[in-house]
Structure 1
Amino acid sequence: MKRRVFIRNTGITGLGITAIPRALGFNPLNNLENMQDKFPLTIATWNFPNASQKAGELLDRGATALDAVEQGVMIEEANLKNTTVGKGGAPDREGNVTLDACIMAPNGNAGSVVYLKNNTHAVSVARKVMEETPHVMLAGEGADQFAREMGFSTENLLTEESNAAYREWLKTKEYKPLINIENHDTIGMLCIDKNGDIAGACTSSGLSYKMNGRVGDSPIIGSGLFLDNEIGGAVATGMGEAIMKSVGSFLIVELMRQGKSPQEACENAINRIINTNPNYKDFQAAFIAMNKKGEVGSYCIQKGFSYVKYQEGKNENIPSAFYF
């Protein structure tokens, strides 16, 4: 009898873990049909209007969220004027341009590359890792070899302009990240397509003149990017070390799972970074997030961060709320 009572009570408790939030109105699928007029929707870190425009227009034509985020961030990977993403990115202290990127699909699959040296479109290599291998992450020479095997062309990512800036930096070798400039090191993007499915991508060349081998939060699932197609998603930008130590994007999604709005969840994540970093005034960290209803939030440490939102043919740059 005691065993039966134990099993019965355990079953009720187990059910309560998932059923109680839904009973309290936290079910992200509630009234989803009524939210369809908000979809499709694209948000991306910083003011990268060409990237969000590309993704948004693809979604308007019926593309999947996964295709849209890949094609969207590829715009900045190929933008030679953007020295923080893709080709033309600032090199590390040894003169190497190394790229980090990840991508997540609505079904929870993910792919990532770190320390990729010879391919502009790191996000596309990351997608191939997700779709063509049993792994989530490939690094360094292995990532470059895999890219070649997948048919990606090998190219020199160090442009004349970024090399000239590097040569100038070598004169002093002084390294102090500039808030909203050298911390402006990532494009992260989230898309909801017409079916209400969410995908995300994050790509970066990392901090300018970083130590050889340094990897930030951008390619780390749960730090630079995380999503749950039943809940929502989040992406990060800024000082990767602080974001990694808080697993910020995962935290935001879990807070939304508990019923917090995207804005509340982003604020909680930033506050956690602030509370554990006494030097928070010296760097930037920022998050953007969306939930399954298409509600959006953003928060950062320092004034100056903004995100771009594409919806119903309108591309809008929105200043983020900030702590300091």
Structure 2
Amino acid sequence: MNSKRQFLKFSLFSTAVASSVTSFTGAVAATRKSGNKPNKPIVISTWQHGIAANKQAWTVLEENGKAIDAVESGVRVPEADPNVMTVGYGGYPDREGHVTLDACIMDENQNCGSVAYLKHIKHPISVARLVMDKTPHVMLAGQGALDFALSQGFKKENLLTDKAERAWKEWLKESKYAPVINIENHDTIGMLALDKHGDLSGACTTSGAAFKMAGRIGDSPIIGAGLYVDNEVGAATATGMGELMIKTVGCHLVVEMMRQGLSPQQACQKAVERIATKLGDYKSFQVGFIALNKQGEYGSYCIQPGFDYAVTDVKGTTLIDAPSILASS
């Protein structure tokens, strides 16, 4: 009797799994059999500072360049701009007054490189690229990342601008760590590109949360959390409170949902909703994703209104406000 019951349970379970696999395979096949001509090349990136970044990336893409070169070149623009105080040179320091940078990059073959807690180097994305291209590792951090950068010809620089230093000293008066949503404290530049060859790549770089604890590392240098690329399916990158992306491996989640047949827009929304459900008090946080698939379709979703992203293709550049949970609630 028990053997029969176990057999029936196993049969029902096997049927359910087979049905799920069939459904999953069908969704992927439907996506890949789309008769629409891919919209390529195309590049998308987070926030308004993505406009200038896209412009630079487009110069690579329109000349038949590779997506990996485009995203590296593109995000170097905000890294070098002292007026973008959440990325690279001019970024807000930690609570000790040190500017520490995180970045990662990923190509169409799932090669990737990352640096974390890197000081004194203006372009962490290019150091991450060299970690990918010249070492057997994925991530270097702290002094090791700096030593590697110097060995590759990068020069040490003072990244703390007068403006950022004044903001830090003002913060020290109360030393209250209370991130303000969408206000220059965790506005990462993440970029995704699809080139003329049909290949995807992505890059992500940041100075992290303003006035963070010394040693804090967010999602931006973590493959799967702040960035993920699967050349068969699509790519995603994130902005907002990095700890939440780490806890959910958010960008990998978005890509896997696209693998199951969801559009980039739907995948971003599902990922944000999952995070919000687990948070409970999600109205106090910001999380945003952008995604791009192999057809050149793109989408975004976030918790709080106010997150925008830049899209550049043959039709020009557009800044788009991402839909959000709170705007629709």
**TM-score, normalization by structure 1:** 0.91
Contact 1:183 1:239 in 2 (8 A): no
Residues 189 and 201 of structure 1 are in contact (CA less than 8 Å); yes or no, is this contact kept in structure 2? yes
Q: Which amino acid counterpart does residue 316 of structure 2 have in structure 1? A: K
What's the offset of the Cα at 1:23?
4.8
Aligned residue among 266, 269, 292 for 1:267: 269
Cα distance between partner residues in 1 of 2:298 and 2:235: 10
> For 1:1-324, what aligned pairs fall within 5 Å after superposition?
21-23=24-26, 26=29, 29-30=32-33, 34-36=36-38, 38-48=39-49, 49-324=51-326
Q: For the residues of structure 1 that align with 2:21 and 2:199, how far apart are their CA atoms?
A: 21
Report the more deviating stretch, 90-99 or 47-56: 47-56
Structure 1 contact 263–289 (Cα < 8 Å) conserved = yes
**Structure 2 unaligned runs (5+)?**
1-16
Cross-structure match for 2:3: none
Counterpart amino acid of residue 310 in structure 2: V
Does 180-189 or 15-24 show the bigger shift? 15-24
CA distance in 2, matches of 1:262, 1:44: 14
Give the deviation of 1:278 after TM superposition: 2.0
Q: Give every structure 1 segment of 4 or more consecutive aligned residues whose post-TM-superposition deviation is greater than 4 Å.
A: 14-25
Letter in 1 for 2:240: G
Cα deviation, residue 161, structure 1: 1.4
Cα 1:31–1:151 shift into 2, 3 Å: same
Residue identity over aligned pairs, in percent, reads: 52
Alignment partners' CA distance in 1, 2:154 and 2:225: 27
Can you list the C-alpha shifts for 1:116-163, whole angstroms capped at 9, x where unaligned? Answer: 001010000000000100000000000000000111111111111111
- 1:282 and 1:18 map into 2 onto residues whose CA distance is 38
Counterpart residue identity of residue 92, structure 1: D
For residues 245 and 225 of structure 1, do their structure 2 counterparts lie closer, same or farther at Cα, with a shift above 3 Å needed? same
Shift, 1:319, TM fit:
0.4
CA RMSD across the alignment: 2.0
Q: Give 1:30 deviation, angstroms.
A: 3.2
Report the 3-state secondary structure (helix = DSSP H, G, I; strand = E; otherwise coil) of the residue aligned with 2:116.
strand
1:43 CA drift (Å): 0.4
CA 1:289/1:198 → structure 2, altered by over 3 Å: closer, same or farther? same
